[in-house]
Chains A and B, each alone.
Chain A
């Protein structure tokens, strides 16, 4: 079943490269310049504030406990990719060919 993923080596390699450079954007530049997307701009004008219902996620904001932010960002991304591909493989296994 995992052999089916072999056909997508190119795409997965491209994702791995993007993952390795991702902290440059997701951590370094975000901290330097401040990450502020249009939704944040609109929310500020409306006076909306984030109220997390609870902290239930293991890797909140793409951090991994005990790791520096940059390395943690890559590891968190790799965990996300693994979870997504894992769900895909399980769903494929449950599907009749």
Chain B
């Protein structure tokens, strides 16, 4: 889902960079002075894990491929503000060190995978916990739905950005159905991995869960 250089026109480059910088500023104002060293280390370990997971590209029947994205996972574990920084770290390193995703598209890529995916994953997970209580079943269902819808809506955002960029009209009529349909199918795998990882970390009482819970910076903060 990493948009390369050349796909976005100058207007959408500016809009996506502006939206991403605005979110980064708000997120920073929410977490400023509240982060502990342990939390930062925990966030960087999760970022490293997501970075490696993204290197596993799975070819699929039907002529397409996918890799795990992890935005919903970051949002579920660290909330919408810290989760953003976990994913932004992954995406910035991918772009600046490996040219995975364009420099002109970095604003869009961070917006899609570190804002949309993170926020959707977080809210769906919290909704499941509110509806069913803090149970293992609620965590599994919430993480699955968050992982699935997060990737679908991130795909929708990417489809809109590239579809609105070309000089000919109605590009979105082509790009949005392709992106949403494929990600609705592939998102099932993202949802399953997200649910299994969240469940595993909770069952093992991982230090990542401990660090995230210690200074839980949630949307209400």
For A57, the chain B residues whose CB sits under 8 A away are 95-99
| Chain A proximity of B71: nearest CB distance (Å) | 15
Partner-contacting stretch, out of B42-50, B116-124, B138-146: B42-50
| Chain B proximity of A78: nearest CB distance (Å) | 9
- B side interface size, CB within 8 A: 66
The answer to whether A42 and B178 touch across the interface, beta carbons within 8 angstroms, is yes
The answer to whether B57 and A30 touch across the interface, beta carbons within 8 angstroms, is yes
Kindly state the separation between the CA atoms of A26 and B46 in the bound complex, as whole angstroms.
20
The answer to whether A84 and B99 touch across the interface, beta carbons within 8 angstroms, is no
| Chain A proximity of B61: nearest CB distance (Å) | 10
| Chain B proximity of A71: nearest CB distance (Å) | 14
B7, B174, B208: which contacts A50 (Cβ < 8 A)?
Answer: B7
B4, B89, B93, B183: which contacts A52 (Cβ < 8 A)?
Answer: B4
User: B131 at the A/B interface (Cβ < 8 Å)?
Assistant: no
| A43-62 near B? 1/0 per residue, CB < 8 Å | 10111111111011111111
Given contacts A4-B41, A8-B42, A48-B166, contact A15 B48 (CB under 8 A): yes
Chain B interface mostly: helix
Given contacts A61-B100, A87-B44, contact A29 B57 (CB under 8 A): yes
The answer to whether A12 and B162 touch across the interface, beta carbons within 8 angstroms, is no
Q: List 30 A-B contacts (CB under 8 A).
A: A1-B37, A11-B49, A12-B45, A29-B57, A29-B58, A29-B59, A33-B59, A34-B65, A35-B59, A38-B64, A38-B178, A39-B1, A39-B158, A42-B163, A46-B163, A46-B166, A50-B7, A53-B5, A55-B99, A56-B103, A61-B99, A77-B51, A84-B48, A87-B93, A88-B40, A88-B41, A88-B45, A88-B89, A91-B40, A92-B44
- Which residues does B use to contact A, with CB under 8 Å? 1-7, 35-38, 40-49, 51-53, 55-59, 63-67, 89-90, 93-100, 102-104, 155, 158-159, 162-163, 165-166, 171, 174-175, 178-179, 182-183, 186, 204, 206-208
